[in-house]
Structure 1
Amino acid sequence: MPDAAQQSGSECKLRAAMERLLAGTPERTDGRLLKENLYREAGVSRATMNRAPTILEEWSRRVDGTQPRDQEIEALRRALGEQRAETRHLRKRIQELEAQLTIAATATAELHVENQLLRGDDRTRGITPLRRPGSYKS
C-alpha cells in the first residue's frame, strides 16, 4: 500500500492533470474528457487513479456537468449553423439578382434595337438582295 506522501503526490499529479484537461490545455493526451486521459495526463497508472476516490468524485462532478470545452464546441456548432444558413440565404439572393440582371440586359438590348430602328439606323435598309442570273425581267 502506498504511503501518504506517495498518494498525495499522485493526487497532486491527478489534480493538475484534471485542471489541464478541463482547461483544454493537455500535455500528454488528445484532451478528451475521459478517465483514461486523466491518468495518462497525470503520468500515473489506472490503479493509482482508482485509489484516489476524492479525485474521481471531483472528476465525475466536474465532467458530468457542462464543461467549458463542450460549451465552446457547442458555440462553434451554433455559429457554423448560422453561417451555413446565411450562406444559403446569400446564394438564393445571388440567384435572384442574376435573374434580374438577365432581365435588365435583355430589356436594354431590346431598347437599343428599337432605338436604332426609330432613328433609321437599320443597317439592313441599304442592302439590296442579290438575284440569280436570268431571273431579271426585261
Structure 2
Amino acid sequence: MTSAERPSVSPRTERALRDAMERLFAGRPARTDGKLTKNNLWREAGVSRATMNRATNVLADWDNRIGHSPAHAQDRKQAETITALRQHLRQAQTDRDRLQDQVDAAATVIAALYAENAALREQISSQSATVVSLTPRR
C-alpha cells in the first residue's frame, strides 16, 4: 500500500480535529486557552500530536483559515495591546529613574545646605554678643 492509498486518519479522528478547529476559530474552546496554535488543535480534539500531523487535509484547511478568523484577529489585537503596554512600562521606568536621580540630587543639595546652615549657626553663637556701633558718636 502506498502513502497515497493509505488513509491519513480515521473519519472519527478527522471529525474530532475539524470540530476542534471550528471551536478554536469561533473562539469557544472546550479544553484549551483558545489560542490558535496547532498544539491547541490536537489538545482540543483529544488526539495525539502525531495523529494530528497525519491529518494533512485538516492541517491544510487550518493553514488556509488561520489568518481569517475572529479569534486570530483577537489574538493579534491582544498582542498589539501587550506591545503597547510594554512600551508604556519601559517609558514609566525611564521616567521613574530620571525622577529618582532628581530626588537623589536634591537630597545631596539639602544635606550640603543643612551642613552649611549648622556651621553658620555655630559661627554666630561663638561670636561676641556685644553690638558695636559703626557710626562715631558726637
Q: State the partner residue of 1:125.
A: none
Measure how far apart 1:67 and its partner are.
2.9
Q: State the partner residue of 2:27.
A: 23
Cα separation, partners in 2 of 1:45 and 1:97, compared to 1, 3 Å:
closer
- Higher-Rg structure is 1
Q: State the partner residue of 1:114.
A: 120
TM-score when scaled to structure 2? 0.57
Structure 1 segments unaligned to the other structure (5+ residues): 122-138
- Cα distance in 1 for partners of 2:78, 2:33 equals 19
Answering whether residue 103 of structure 2 is matched by residue 100 of structure 1, we say: no
Measure how far apart 1:98 and its partner are.
0.8
Deviations 1:83-135, CA, capped at 9 Å, x for gaps:
111011111111011101110110111011101111218xxxxxxxxxxxxxx
Cα separation, partners in 2 of 1:75 and 1:27, compared to 1, 3 Å:
same
- Cα distance in 1 for partners of 2:44, 2:78 equals 21
> Which protein has greater RCO, CA pairs closer than 8 Å, 6+ apart?
2
Alignment equivalent of 1:84, drawn from 81, 90, 95: 90
- Cα distance in 1 for partners of 2:83, 2:28 equals 17
Which 4+ residue blocks in structure 1 deviate beyond 3 angstroms? 6-13, 20-32, 36-41, 44-49
Measure how far apart 1:22 and its partner are.
6.5
TM-score when scaled to structure 1? 0.57
Measure how far apart 1:76 and its partner are.
1.4
SS of residue paired to 1:27? coil
Which runs of structure 2 are paired with 1:1-138 in the superposition (5 Å)? 7=11, 10-11=14-15, 13-20=17-24, 23=27, 25=29, 27=31, 31=35, 33-34=37-38, 38-39=41-42, 41-42=44-45, 43=47, 45-48=52-55, 50=57, 56=61, 60-61=64-65, 63-65=66-68, 66-120=72-126
Q: State the one-letter code of the partner of 1:56.
A: D
CA-based RMSD of the aligned residues comes to 3.9
Identity rate, percent: 13
Aligned residues: 112
Structure 2 segments unaligned to the other structure (5+ residues): 128-138
Measure how far apart 1:20 and its partner are.
3.2
CA contact (8 A) 1:14 1:49 kept: no
Measure how far apart 1:69 and its partner are.
2.1
